[in-house]
């Protein structure tokens, strides 16, 4: 469950008087999500999502919330934060920083087809283009610095084969730096559960991109690699060529890759796999006190990493 | 018709490369509207409205476009202007200033019932609250100064009875000034054709408020009076009490009237009638060269004005 902080209809009705979104008619906790408290909020005006931030502070939030507002104003189908009557996008409710955002329509897809990958590829490219004029600044908090800090903390839990793999990959990555590649705001977590699809006049549509709370400034190509590592793979971790082609072609039609990006691609795919292998190892072996454990199996991303190391992939 | 400036799919596809809204799939001229060229634009992402401004200049537009962006960011269901990749809400296409805005769902109602008036009243109040933090500044261009300039230009076309009525009303209005009443951005044209309704789970919803191109800074009560003079009247111009009560009660539940507003109400209802009688007289008798004539019958608002003069209305 993901209602860590309870909100009553009475509390919310009072809080909503600070907004111009109509009167509350329904309030329902959302069970998905592990980081924040989320509610579906229905008013006389429409549907919204209320989020109470359980870990992020009001000081960290502006990067994410302003990024969503920026992208939404460019037509990207992402949650649009609603400003309150004081013109602020971030409020406070029951002692937590809180936002009210538009509710997007659609459902995630479990087994994506090439048609889904086309929509994801083009939406990702358009997010990257629209993000170029965003002025917020937050280095991706799960970048190489975090890898170097985190590896020693999980290393003792690993067997020799996995220790060697981790060590070898960190050394390989340390030989590259990507700061000359095109950069900007990246979603950095565009997995299948963060994209909604809907049918509109029997046509498949991207209903929305959600959960921007891993976003940061990084190489745009890093975002492409993360996305491909989730959308375009076989269960064993190998790349499925038809979906990969669909995603990359759709992306390129909107933002083509630079020569530097083409060169960096194989390393970047490995970097994207490493980042999630590491975070899943960390969540698995180093649970923090008082935290609910929703650890994913770290092995999934080890297999992806092994697969990317085995075969050089071309853009 | 209201496609004054033609746009081809080829021209639009090229123009849309400056936006992050997907690829063009359909383009259709909109026949409603008399001031601008409007198209429905469908992309792989969704539906938008393209407007080419035929009279307003790029210098006048920011007040309106930024107001829509401000209200939309507060959750008001109005067209949200889409920013281009240069982060601008106003572009240029085929020599005209142009905007791309979200397409709202719903249809206008011809014969409103009290339930419609409830939704309009509350939406108007929320627009007024959300507008309080808007920093744009543009005095309502159809205010008392414009009345005084316009009256002499239509006077020669009127018979004695109407000349006396106009003169008498101008004199009456000149005895009041409303600058101490609550002020802010007003829509100033919230007629039935500018509000869209839709059914959502069998519930009547306000789908959107459109056409902000008569907006300006004025007394909020002036906006209420304009709205009531269209939504809550009998064909002869008299106020229909059930709808009037529905609209005003819904408005008051969100923003209550001040004592000064209660006092000003009968004069304000007359001012709102005068403003439209005058503009319709002007459009009827003083057509401008090269302009399509869509003049409404001025008599409708003369009857409304007479009705407001006859009976003092209480808030």
Which residues in chain B have Cβ-Cβ distances shorter than 8 Å to A85? 74, 129-130, 132-133
Q: Does A132 touch chain B (CB under 8 A)?
A: yes
Contacts of B175 (CB under 8 A, 6+ apart): none
Q: Which pLDDT tens digits describe chain B residue by residue (315 residues)?
A: 467 899 999 999 999 999 999 999 999 999 876 779 999 999 988 999 999 999 888 788 999 999 999 999 999 999 999 999 999 999 999 999 999 999 999 999 999 999 999 999 999 999 999 999 999 999 999 999 999 999 999 999 999 999 999 999 999 999 998 889 999 999 999 999 999 999 987 889 999 999 999 999 999 999 999 999 999 999 889 999 999 999 999 999 999 999 999 999 999 999 999 999 999 999 999 877 655 556 788 999 999 999 999 987 777
Chain B, window 217-256: residues with a beta carbon less than 8 angstroms from a chain A beta carbon: none
Q: Are residues A71 and A131 in the same domain?
A: no
In this structure, is residue A2 part of a structural domain? no
In this structure, is residue B160 part of a structural domain? yes
pLDDT digits (tens, 9 = 90+) for B134-149: 999 999 999 999 999 9
Distance CA B212, CA B53 (A): 13
pTM of the model: 0.92
Q: Are residues B93 and B142 in the same domain?
A: no
Q: Are residues A89 and A120 in the same domain?
A: no
- Nearest residue to A44 via CA among B110, B113, B126, B73: B126
Chain B, window 60-119: residues with a beta carbon less than 8 angstroms from a chain A beta carbon: 69-70, 73-77, 80-87, 100, 102, 119
Q: Does A120 touch chain B (CB under 8 A)?
A: no
Distance CA A109, CA A194 (A): 10
Q: Are residues A129 and A265 in the same domain?
A: yes
**Residue span of the structural domain in which A119 resides:** 114-310
Cβ distance of B75 and A205 shorter than 8 Å: no
Q: Does A172 touch chain B (CB under 8 A)?
A: no
Task: Give the minimum alpha-carbon distance from A167 to chain B in angstroms, rounded to a whole number.
Answer: 40
Q: Are residues A14 and A140 in the same domain?
A: no
In this structure, is residue B108 part of a structural domain? no
The H or E element spanning position B206 is strand B203-209
B136 C-beta neighbours (distance < 10 Å), count: 16
Measured CA to CA in angstroms, residue A60 lies from A79, A132, A139, A144, B80 at distances of 18, 20, 12, 20, 27
Q: Are the CB atoms for B36 and B54 separated by under 8 Å?
A: yes
For B207, the closest chain A residue by CA position comes to: A45
| Cβ–Cβ pairs < 8 A, chains A and B | 100
In this structure, is residue A107 part of a structural domain? no
Cβ distance of B86 and A119 shorter than 8 Å: no
pLDDT digits (tens, 9 = 90+) for A69-124: 999 999 999 999 999 999 999 999 999 999 999 999 999 999 999 999 999 999 99
Q: Are the CB atoms for A231 and A269 separated by under 8 Å?
A: no
Return the CATH number at A15: 3.30.200.20
The interface pTM score, or ipTM, of the predicted complex is: 0.88
Distance CA A51, CA A98 (A): 5
In this structure, is residue B51 part of a structural domain? yes
In this structure, is residue A236 part of a structural domain? yes
Q: Are residues A90 and A128 in the same domain?
A: no
- Nearest residue to B192 via CA among B149, B233, B151, B134: B233
Q: Are residues A296 and A254 in the same domain?
A: yes
Q: Are residues B188 and B241 in the same domain?
A: yes
Residue position matching structure tokens 């789908």: B207
Which residues in chain B have Cβ-Cβ distances shorter than 8 Å to A127? 20
Which residues in chain A have Cβ-Cβ distances shorter than 8 Å to B75? 19-21, 45, 48, 82-83, 100, 102
Q: Are residues B198 and B271 in the same domain?
A: yes
Q: Are residues B221 and B81 in the same domain?
A: no
- Nearest residue to B2 via CA among B28, B40, B29: B29
- Nearest residue to A84 via CA among A96, A72, A101, A70: A101
In this structure, is residue A1 part of a structural domain? no
In this structure, is residue A165 part of a structural domain? yes
DSSP letter at B192 equals G
Q: Are residues B48 and B18 in the same domain?
A: yes
3-state secondary structure (DSSP) of residue A286: coil
Cβ distance of A19 and B74 shorter than 8 Å: yes
Cβ distance of A126 and B77 shorter than 8 Å: no
| SS3 readout for A164-193 | HHHHHHHHHHHCCCCCCCCEEEECCCCCHH
Which residues in chain B have Cβ-Cβ distances shorter than 8 Å to A19? 74-75
pLDDT digits (tens, 9 = 90+) for A248-305: 999 999 999 999 999 999 999 999 999 999 999 999 998 776 555 567 889 999 999 9
Return the CATH number at B239: 3.90.1200.10
Last residue within a domain, chosen from B102, B135, B165: B102
Last residue within a domain, chosen from B79, B102, B125: B102
Angle among Cα A243, A244, A246 to the nearest 5 degrees reads: 60
Task: Give the minimum alpha-carbon distance from A40 to chain B in angstroms, rounded to a whole number.
Answer: 15
Q: Are residues A85 and A232 in the same domain?
A: no
Last residue within a domain, chosen from B50, B71, B102: B102
- How many domains does one find in chain B? 2
């Amino acid at each position: 469950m993901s209602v860590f902080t309870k909100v009553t209809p009475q509390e919310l009705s009072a809080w909503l008087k600070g907004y111009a979104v109509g009167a509350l008619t329904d309030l329902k906790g959302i069970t998905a999500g592990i980081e924040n408290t989320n509610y579906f909020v229905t008013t006389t005006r429409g549907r919204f999502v209320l989020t109470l931030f359980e870990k992020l502070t009001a000081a960290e939030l502006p990067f994410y919330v302003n990024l969503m507002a920026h992208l939404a104003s460019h037509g990207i189908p992402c949650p649009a934060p609603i400003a309150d009557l004081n013109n602020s996008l971030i409020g406070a409710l029951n002692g937590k920083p809180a936002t009210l955002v538009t509710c997007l329509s659609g459902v995630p897809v479990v087994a994506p087809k090439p048609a889904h990958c086309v929509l994801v590829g083009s939406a990702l490219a358009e997010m990257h283009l629209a993000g170029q004029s965003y002025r917020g600044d937050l280095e991706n908090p799960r970048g190489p610095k975090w890898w170097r800090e985190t590896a020693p903390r999980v290393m003792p839990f690993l067997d020799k084969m996995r220790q060697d793999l981790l060590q070898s990959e960190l050394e390989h990555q340390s030989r590259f730096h990507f700061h000359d590649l095109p950069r900007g705001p990246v979603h950095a977590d565009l997995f299948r559960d963060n994209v909604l699809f809907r049918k509109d006049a029997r046509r498949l549509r991207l209903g929305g991109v959600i959960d921007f709370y891993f976003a940061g400034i990084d190489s745009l190509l890093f975002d492409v690699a993360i996305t491909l590592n989730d959308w375009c793979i076989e269960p064993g971790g190998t790349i499925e060529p038809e979906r990969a082609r669909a995603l990359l072609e759709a992306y390129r039609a909107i933002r083509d890759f630079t020569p530097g990006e083409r060169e960096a691609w194989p390393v970047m795919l490995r970097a994207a796999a490493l980042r999630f292998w590491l975070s899943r190892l960390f969540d698995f072996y180093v649970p923090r006190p008082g935290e609910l454990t929703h650890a994913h199996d770290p092995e999934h991303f080890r297999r992806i990493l092994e697969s990317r190391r085995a075969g050089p992939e071309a853009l």
